[in-house]
Amino acid sequence: MAEIRRYPIGIQTFQDIIEGKYIYVDKTKYIVDFREQGLKFVFLSRPRRFGKSLFASMLHAYYEGKKDLFDGLAVGEYEKDWVKHPVLHFDMSGAKHFDAERLTSYLNWQLQPYEEAYGCADDDNSTNVRLANLVKRAYKQTGQKVVIIIDEYDAPLLDVVHEEENLHKLRLIMQNFYSPLKMLDPYLELVFITGITKFSQLSI
């Protein structure tokens, strides 16, 4: 009897879908496109529930060199080296309806596990300095360029878009956090950002 594969309803983690043998529509050819075109900064704008987080999770697995997850998929046929890169994956979807203080705490919480992993914990500096130091430390420790994934980068701003004063404060915090990305170019393999819309003045 042929194996019956289930739809991955509510599952947004690539590894869980592959290991659970759920139906997966192969999107890994886009990685081949990124590589062949030499893309370093990629912004994916789609409405909610259009698979952005699953795509980000798939990229995370690929750049961590998890070869076995890609058997039979497009990038599995393409990739020969499977270099493991340090991946910094920031999920901003949990930062909705925040004021400035809570948003800053959330960014600190997102940075902390990576800082601990690479031995560069630093609570004294602002989030942009900490992000820059983290990328440089990860690059130095591993000898490989860093991949940054920012999922739902605009989530902290979307729900306050009509609150002018709060929006301005939160925009400045996010602008500060994202500000090192361009100057970190020599240390970066890929910056992949998902969101629903394009906010100006965010250093992206």
> Exposure string (b/e) for 27-44, b if CB count within 10 Å is 16 or more?
bbebbeebeeeeeeebeb
Per the CB < 8 A criterion, the answer to whether 30 and 194 are in contact is no
Over residues 181-194, the pLDDT tens digits come to 999 999 999 999 99
Q: Which phi and psi angles does 123 have, rounded to 5°?
A: -85, -10
Which residue would you say has higher pLDDT here, 11 or 73? 73
Look at residue 59 in the predicted model and tell me its pLDDT: 97
Q: Angle between the 29-37 and 52-63 helix axes, to the nearest 10 degrees?
A: 60
What number is the average pLDDT over the span 157-161?
Answer: 83
The model's confidence at residue 164, banded by pLDDT at 50, 70 and 90, is: confident
Nearest to 148 by CA among 110, 192, 105: 192
Ordered by where they begin, the domains of the chain are 14-19+40-60+86-195 (3.40.50)
Number of H helices, E strands in the chain: 8, 4
